[in-house]
Structure 1
């Protein structure tokens, strides 16, 4: 058995501080913007940022804590400095369609200037326009127009009245309007009685004349109305001329100022036309201001002069290069903007100045960083984002508008053209879910940047790892670390990966230990953090999470969980399992038993029958059955029924690392050879008996060691592991010391025969022969039983035939 023991030289994984070329981290340089051990992801991200084509958005996939967010932000900031500063995005009033505000894009910083200028000219015009209409020139021209058209209308009316009198009528104003009234020779209206005394011919003549004059009245009134309209047009033209004389110089001055931006020049032209068309709004009216009902109505309308304001939707005046927006709360409104409202007098009002931008608008022309999980868990966000990326534009609209049963009047802002790159951060699980179940995802996110959780433990990466520690120290103002403390951190990083040839890239866990070691160094009165402080931080972190481990150990100590770590038993073996309690994992032995007896049902997995077996464990038992068939059933079928169970297992079993233990227990039961209880075994196996590596090897070894330590170390106890797990051995120093002193043992195996020799303390061939003999014995018994059954069946048939003959 000693030939399978792992020598102590193979267990030393500790990194030596002498291999570092510094004494403290003070001598190192920080690497704030560099990410270590992620060459593949860094190259993918760099390439994705350089491709300026539709659909080349980036999905950064990796486990939490590998530095994705920080690196994405740093890379985006670096790349953005090479890009052009995007324009300001403005919303302005649409004078032709007020419910559809227009988008204007102007050079960065120009939006602020235009907004201030527009506010200034509106105030100026509110002073200048009323003053222009109070001047003598306007009043004189107004009187001239009135004097020109008033005599015309008077003359028309006078001539018509004279014509009516010549025909014996006068014109009289009534509630029904102007009507002809017959008069006598003295010019007085004919009374009703006098009219009744007239003969019928005379009456008929008066009626006909009256009707004719009535018809002429309508024509005369139209003529007079036409004259008045001409006068009003003249007055309107006069007002427009006065308005233009005031507005045009001011607007022209602004157009000269912004002549380089054609959009602003065109907009100012529209502003000028609108002001002139609404010149009355600028003329003060004390009566309206004093009328509370009129004032209320104007306020409800959102104030007429709001139309000349500028809504700076996206302000890039202070943006250097392209924008980088990291949206940490990607709700619908935070991403896509909203149209706000204001409650006044019991109603909600809004206007284009209340259109607010979202992260997508602010990142336009640059980069938007967002976490996939947060995005997908917010309603409507994912579909809206896809639609925006596909259409390369985004419209600001409130969520409720598209789901209302009864539509309401609201704003429909013009869509904003999009030109940005999305960097989405998420787990590999989310990436593959989207890739497999969302057809549009692969078209929109063509670049995948895969972040690994580990990197090679080589000289180059160790140097960068030390520089990273220095960066955290500088950033968070920690005490400097000694070379020994950095070496302890390197060992801790390797332990996280479960591989002595690797370093972990889960930097959040690394940083936690750095923080805690800094605190413990204060307790120890250290000026520089030592390796003892690092180890203390690791121990205390484990202690805060190992309550479940202690409870299980307590049950073992009190024999509530039955385990033997000495002696031998047939069909009973100590397997090893790993428990997961949040971010803390630990190993403990588990008793596995096997019973074999005559039958044809094969190997029964009790866990599976009780629906407590995971798929991988069930597969392992099937592999075990395949091994038995290949080893012992080449010439005759297996006449065997066997049951395998994890004793006192109440929470389910999964994984295939107990396959070797199950095979050994089953063969022990068949061969009737006892299994050593002072050795535990872990390892999966294929159908040919080759032992395969497993996970959690350190936790499993340490778990069995603690049980043996609690029950008393004998020097014979130990653990068998797969040969291919040697690189994963990073055991606690206490275990290594026990092995070095001969108090505990480690064995490695490559095939199941080696495990049998260690556990059953006999040659593998002898064990296999004993198993074959038992199986042959089962087969003979099966054959005898089958022959007896056939004989009984034949006798029953003969008796039945004789009885039938007698009846006949």
Structure 2
């Protein structure tokens, strides 16, 4: 059996891959050039390039991968490679719609012309503010205005004078009569040289002081003259309207040359049809109301304590230009990385100001503010998928905008705190390539549940966490180390230091043939190794410093592991590491605390008896077993039936338990351990307690690979070392996991000294031979096993149980 155990023992050189220093042709990283390319993500690079270069609708990019695999760096580098000499997108402006102020117009201008147009309009307004008052104050204008007013006033006086003379002949005069709070012109009778109202005359008639007949005559004349007065007043109102119209025409005529001349220069500078139409509306608006350009006296305001005076309304707001996007400094397609994709930050908003006079919220086109989506128009927008998905309103608006390629500016008010804005700005045509960064779970969820998602994000860029370990990739690792050292002013790494970092990358990858691409974890070790080297006073980082950085990091994170080890040493957690016991074996599990994972041995026990209950999974009965563990137990039962129940019924009751397990068990990596415990109980063969076991099985009894093999071995090794290495202790692993071994250096050293052993097996029988020291025994042609072998003892026990239960049932029936 010793020879057989030696055959299963893993060779020393396979326990840890060591980076050959001759593959690193430099003394330290100062002698090599830093990397300029993305390492280990060719698949993702090809996908992203395709997405960036495709102009068709829907070819936006969803980048999938773990944090630290270089997603952000890759996207940034690829976007920086974009041709900066390409077409720069237009500036985007909003201007007033004079025909419908609630629907501001969008104007697009070549890059840099937006702010020039705004400046030109400001200059135009300043010119009008300065020159229009001068024109209206000029002698020529005042003379024309005076003549026009005097001409109409003379005509008005003539009409009124003619009526007054006619009224006088009839014994009436025109006077101002009080009507409520107002006065109005009216005809009043003149009696004895005095003007007296009809009401007063009627009173005199009643008193007998004025003849009734004369009163009736005056009353008739009053009605006729009143009607004539109304016609006179109507005529004067018409004359007043004519005066105002002619004054307005005079005003237009006086300033039209100035306005047209000023706008003509702007029209020549900006030939775009939309601007031409807008400037025509500006001209009409100025000519329609030139009075706004004249100085007005400030109305007196009585200060009221505690009340802030209302701000003056700017009469020239409607002539302003709101430049939302200014690309004057942009070179090539814009690249916008939005780190906080709220609705406002992403799509902009329409701000409101409170009118302190009326207490109402008001807005206009100058309050329209753009977001990062509009700034990225004609270019690229990068944002985090989860952030965009959880922000209220963002995901729906993003889909709508990408689908329609138009952006509608609106306020976002999810709680309806304000009345919705009356503004409906003209939608803006946009062309933006969106790059979203997220994880696989979110991508798969959106792809399955959101029917629009697959239409607008047609490119999936999947970032891998590992790459093949080749001579080329080893050198790429070295150039990456050089880049970090250069960028962050770290000490250079010598060949041994680089080799140690590469070995750490292999350990992270979990396979000797792979290297990790989780470069954020690699970078952390580089920084910390440089720190320890500086603290020691070294001028370069060596293997010792890298090992120290790794060990220090582990020490910071392994408090829970140390507590568990302490409980094992104190006998609170029952783990045997020597001797042999029937139906008891040390299984291995992995605890993952997030940033750190470690192995822990667990006692697994089995008890068998006569019965028909089959295998009872105590963890499942206690609702502490996960689905995968339940499956492993069912497979175990299938293995026992297939191997031992071909000539007899499998009539037994076997209970399995993870002792002192209170937080749940999952995974099938202990299924081989559990079958060893059952076979030991059936055959009454003690199992070695100085050997721990891991590995899953299938129904054919073949051992299958598991995860966390390094942590599991190291977990049991630490227990054995704490109690003292005997030279007999070890761990049994699946043979497929030999390629995953990247054990700590102290474990490898113990194996080299013969103090610890690693065995790799392919079948359950091989594992039982190591654990019991008894040959497993091959099935003979007649279906039996060689006497004295492990399988023989199990088979005989099962036959015995089958016969006993048959006898028991027969006796029970007789009774």
**Which residue in the other structure is 1:121 paired with?**
124
In the alignment, does 2:310 pair up with 1:306?
no
Instruction: Give the Cα–Cα distance (whole angstroms) in 1 for the partners of residues 542 and 195 of structure 2.
Output: 127
1:572-591 mapped onto 2 (5 Å cutoff): 572-591=584-603
**Native 8 Å contact 2:188 2:195 kept in 1:** no
Aligned residue for 2:612? 600
After superposition, residues 186-335 of structure 1 pair within 5 angstroms as 192=201, 193=204, 203-256=215-268, 258-285=269-296, 288-292=297-301, 300=311, 302-335=313-346
Using the TM superposition, give the Cα deviation of residue 306 of structure 1 relative to its aligned residue in structure 2, in angstroms: 2.3
> What is the rounded CA distance, in whole Å, between the counterparts of 2:308 and 2:220 in structure 1?
51
Residue 803 (structure 1) aligns with? none
Partner residue, 2:780:
none
Equivalent residue runs for 1:148-187 within 5 Å: 148-176=151-179, 177-183=184-190
From 15, 20, 31, the counterpart of 1:16: 20
Name 2:575's counterpart in structure 1.
563
Is 1:110 aligned to 2:123, yes or no?
no
Question: What corresponds to 1:661 in structure 2?
Answer: 673
Per-residue deviation, residues 740-776 of structure 1 (Å, max 9, x unmatched): 2221111111111111111121121222222121112
Q: Paired residue for 2:401? A: 388
Report the equivalent of 1:801.
none
Q: Aligned partners of 2:420 and 2:528: how far apart in 1? A: 58
Q: Shift of residue 184 of structure 1?
A: 6.7
Q: Which residue of 1 aligns with 2:34?
A: 30
Aligned position for 1:469 = 481
Q: Retained in 2: the 8 A contact 1:81–1:321?
A: yes
Partner of 1:439, secondary structure, is coil
Counterparts of residues 290-689 of structure 1 (less than 5 Å): 290-292=299-301, 300=311, 302-342=313-353, 345=356, 347=359, 349-400=362-413, 403-404=415-416, 407=419, 410-689=422-701
1:800 matched residue in structure 2? none
Secondary structure of the structure 2 residue equivalent to 1:748: strand
Give per-residue Cα distances to partners, 1:68-95, cap 9 Å, x unaligned: 0111122123226264211111122222
Q: Deviations over 1:413-471 (max 9, x none)?
A: 33322210110001111111211222221111111000000000012222222111111
Q: How far apart are residue 697 of structure 1 and its match?
A: 0.7
Do residues 723 (structure 1) and 735 (structure 2) align? yes
Distance between the aligned counterparts of 1:84 and 1:636, measured in 2?
83
Alignment: residue pair count? 786
Per-residue CA shift, 1:484-519, capped at 9, x if unaligned? 211111110000011110000000001001101111
TM-score, length of structure 2 as denominator length: 0.92
Give the number of the structure whose residues are more often helix, by fraction: 1
Q: Distance in 2 between matches of 1:525 and 1:261?
A: 69
* Structure 2 equivalent of residue 737 of structure 1: 749
What's the CA shift for 1:290?
4.8
In structure 2, what is the Cα distance between the partners aligned to 1:284 and 1:148?
27
* TM-score computed with the length of structure 1 as normaliser: 0.93
Distance 1:10 1:697 in 2: 13
User: Shift of residue 639 of structure 1?
Assistant: 1.0
**Offset of residue 404 of structure 1:** 2.3
Q: Paired residue for 1:697?
A: 709
Q: Write the mapping of 1:769-780 to structure 2, written as runs, cut at 5 A.
A: 769-780=792-803
1:191-226: CA deviation from partner (whole Å, max 9, x where unpaired): 824796777666544433322222222222212211
Which residue of structure 2 lines up, in the alignment, with residue 783 of structure 1? 806
Moved more, 478-487 or 421-430: 478-487
The 1-side partners of 2:720 and 2:309 are apart by 88
How far 1:181 sits from its partner (Å)?
3.4
Distance 1:404 1:343, change over 3 A: closer
How far has the Cα of 1:118 moved from its partner? Answer: 2.3
CA contact (8 A) 2:620 2:630 kept: yes
Task: Give, in whole Å, the separation in 2 of the partners of 1:208 and 1:409.
Answer: 61
Match of 1:139 among 133, 139, 142: 142
Q: Over the residues paired in the alignment, what is the CA RMSD in angstroms?
A: 2.4
Counterpart Cα distance in 2 of 1:198 and 1:544: 121
The alignment partner of 1:764 has SS state of coil
SS of match in other structure, 1:46: helix
Following superposition, the deviation at residue 407 of structure 1 comes to 2.4
